[in-house]
């Protein structure tokens, strides 16, 4: 130590110790401080982002709850109103007796099926649950070998119940699918009937024009020909809209069932709701986690196009109905005027004939007198 003090006082250098570069140490310290501050800033930024996400999520959930509550209230009011109207309708004299009887029988049938389901499915599960609790308590008080034997029996019983429930649910799924197919078939039949009826309405000639008599065949033929030309233009436009709707529906990003869910979600959010699109897109992403936001936005775009095309198609049919009525009224009026003109011509011709006969008779008298 004394030697070291002597060296320091007399500034005697030693090859054992290297001079300290304080500038380098300061730079290294500043770099470490800067890196530490950067890491701290990143941590704070991540925490701020997480806090913002949590706050945003809570805000969205709160808004969703408000919408759900309003929708629940609306559906409850509609249900009460419909039930009241049904009861009022069925309580009227000589109205709905057979319908009421059918509904009562159907309600009784559903009640019996539900009781059977409780007895054969739910009650055994609850009994098994109680038995498992008792067995678990009983096993904890016995030896390991005895417990292992009981566990095997319990697992076998649980597997047996699982197989039974699986068979029940498979049968219920088949019944559900059959009912859905049945309803879908009826929907298609109704749609086909409506389409066929509309097609017949567009292609058939109006009865009002066919049954009217016209003394001028060329005039009636001209009116019917004009009506056919007038109808063909609307048929062509209607076919164009149908093809456009088919093309748009092929671009849908969701299946038929998922599209039904999509539409049900959209219907829950009123059109005048602030931030409606943000809310229903957020809810759709929860319903369809396997779909990206881009897919949902694309589906939304095609749905808007489909809805716009359907509205244009509806306007086209409405305009056609209006123009058809106007055309028929004008045609009937024209044919009525033609009939009146023809009757007037017949009357004038008859008067002219009588005048000619009178003139001939008078001429004959004059000649006889001469």
Longest dimension (CA), the chain: 189
242-268: average pLDDT: 88
Question: How far apart are alpha carbons 138 and 233 in whole angstroms?
Answer: 84
Least confident of 209-223, 253-267, 296-310, 324-338: 209-223
Cα Rg of the chain (Å, integer): 45
pLDDT for residue 12: 53
107 vs 102: CA distance, rounded Å: 9
Token digits for 189? 């039949």
Q: How far apart are CA 143 and CA 257, in angstroms?
A: 54
Answer yes or no: is pLDDT of 6 > 70.
no
Distance (Å, whole) CA 71 – CA 268: 6
- Cα–Cα distance measured from residue 283 to residue 287, given in angstroms and rounded to the nearest whole number: 6
**pLDDT attached to residue 272:** 84
pTM of the model: 0.59
**Residue 222: its pLDDT value, please?**
85
Q: Which of 71-80, 120-129, 237-246, 327-336 has the lowest mean pLDDT?
A: 120-129
* pLDDT tens digits for range 167-204: 888 888 888 888 877 877 776 666 665 655 555 556 66
pLDDT at residue number 148: 56
Residues 51, 53, 55, 58, CA torsion sign: negative
Which residue has better confidence, 140 or 62? 62
Q: Read off φ and ψ for residue 122, nearest 5 degrees.
A: -70, -50
Is 254 exposed, middle or buried (CB count within 10 Å of its CB: 0-12, 13-18, 19+)? buried
Mean pLDDT of 357-363: 78
- CB within 8 Å of 361: residues ≥ 6 apart: none
Has residue 326 got a pLDDT over 80? Answer: yes
Cβ burial of 137 (10 Å; 0-12, 13-18, 19+) is: exposed
Give 277 or 193, the one with higher predicted confidence.
277
pLDDT at 336: 84
- Report the pLDDT value the prediction gives residue 109, as an integer from 0 to 100: 86
Least confident of 125-129, 204-208, 213-217, 300-304: 204-208
DSSP 280-291: HHHHHHHH-TTS
Closest residue by Cα to residue 302 from 260, 336, 345, 254: 254
For residues 206 and 53, the model is more confident at 53
Task: Tell me the C-alpha distance between 232 and 210, whole Å.
Answer: 18
pLDDT average, residue stretch 12-27: 68
Tokens 């109704």 locate to: 190
> What pLDDT score does 194 carry?
60
Q: In the structure, what pLDDT confidence band is assigned to residue 312 with cuts at 50, 70 and 90?
A: very high
Of the pLDDT bands very low, low, confident and very high (cuts 50, 70, 90), residue 309 is: very high
DSSP single-letter state for residue 253: S
Q: What is residue 188's predicted lDDT score, i.e. its pLDDT? A: 65
The dihedral over CA atoms of 117, 121, 123, 125, expressed in degrees to the nearest 10, equals -160
Task: Please give the C-alpha separations between residue 368 and each of 77, 126, 356, 357, 358, in angstroms, as whole numbers.
Answer: 100, 127, 18, 16, 15
The pLDDT value given to residue 131? 76
Task: Answer whether 259's CB lies under 8 Å from 252's CB.
Answer: yes
Distance CA 23, CA 29 (A): 10
pLDDT tens-digit map of 74-121: 889 999 998 888 777 766 655 556 666 777 787 788 888 888 888 877
Query: pLDDT tens digits, residue range 127-181?
Result: 878 877 777 776 666 555 555 556 677 777 778 878 878 888 888 888 888 887 7
Whole-number mean pLDDT of the chain?
80
Burial 47-58 (b: 16+ CB within 10 A, else e): eeeeeeeeeeee
């Amino acid at each position: 130590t004394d030697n070291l003090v002597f060296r320091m006082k007399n500034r005697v250098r030693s090859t054992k110790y290297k001079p300290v570069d304080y500038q380098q140490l300061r730079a290294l310290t500043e770099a470490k401080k800067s890196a530490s501050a950067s890491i701290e800033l990143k941590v704070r930024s991540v925490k701020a982002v997480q806090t913002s996400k949590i706050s945003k999520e809570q805000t969205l959930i709160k808004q969703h709850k408000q919408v759900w509550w309003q929708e629940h209230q609306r559906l409850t009011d509609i249900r009460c109103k419909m039930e009241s109207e049904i009861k009022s309708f069925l309580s009227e004299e000589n109205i709905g007796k057979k319908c009421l009887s059918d509904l009562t029988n159907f309600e009784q049938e559903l009640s019996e099926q539900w009781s059977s389901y409780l007895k054969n499915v739910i009650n055994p599960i609850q009994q098994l649950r109680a038995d498992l609790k008792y067995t678990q308590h009983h096993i904890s008080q016995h030896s390991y070998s005895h417990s292992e034997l009981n566990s095997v029996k319990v697992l076998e019983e649980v597997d047996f119940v699982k197989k039974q429930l699986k068979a029940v649910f498979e049968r219920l799924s088949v019944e559900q699918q059959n009912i859905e197919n049945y309803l879908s078939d009826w929907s298609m039949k109704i749609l086909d009937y409506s389409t066929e009826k509309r097609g017949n309405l567009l292609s058939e000639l109006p009865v009002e024009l066919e049954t009217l008599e016209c003394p001028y065949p060329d005039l009636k033929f001209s009116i019917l020909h004009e009506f056919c030309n007038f109808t063909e233009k609307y048929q062509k436009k209607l076919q164009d809209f149908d093809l456009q709707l088919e093309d748009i529906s092929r671009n849908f990003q969701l299946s038929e069932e998922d599209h039904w869910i999509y539409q049900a979600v959209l219907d829950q959010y009123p059109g005048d709701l602030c931030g409606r699109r943000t809310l229903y897109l957020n809810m759709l992403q929860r319903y369809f986690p396997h779909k990206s936001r881009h897919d949902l936005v694309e589906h939304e775009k095609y749905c808007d196009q489909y809805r716009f095309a359907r509205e244009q198609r509806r306007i086209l049919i409405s305009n056609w109905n209006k123009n058809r009525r106007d055309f028929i009224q004008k045609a009937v009026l024209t044919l009525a005027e033609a009939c009146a003109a023809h009757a007037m011509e017949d009357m004038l011709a008859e008067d002219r004939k009588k005048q000619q006969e009178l003139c001939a008779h008078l001429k004959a008298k004059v000649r006889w007198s001469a």
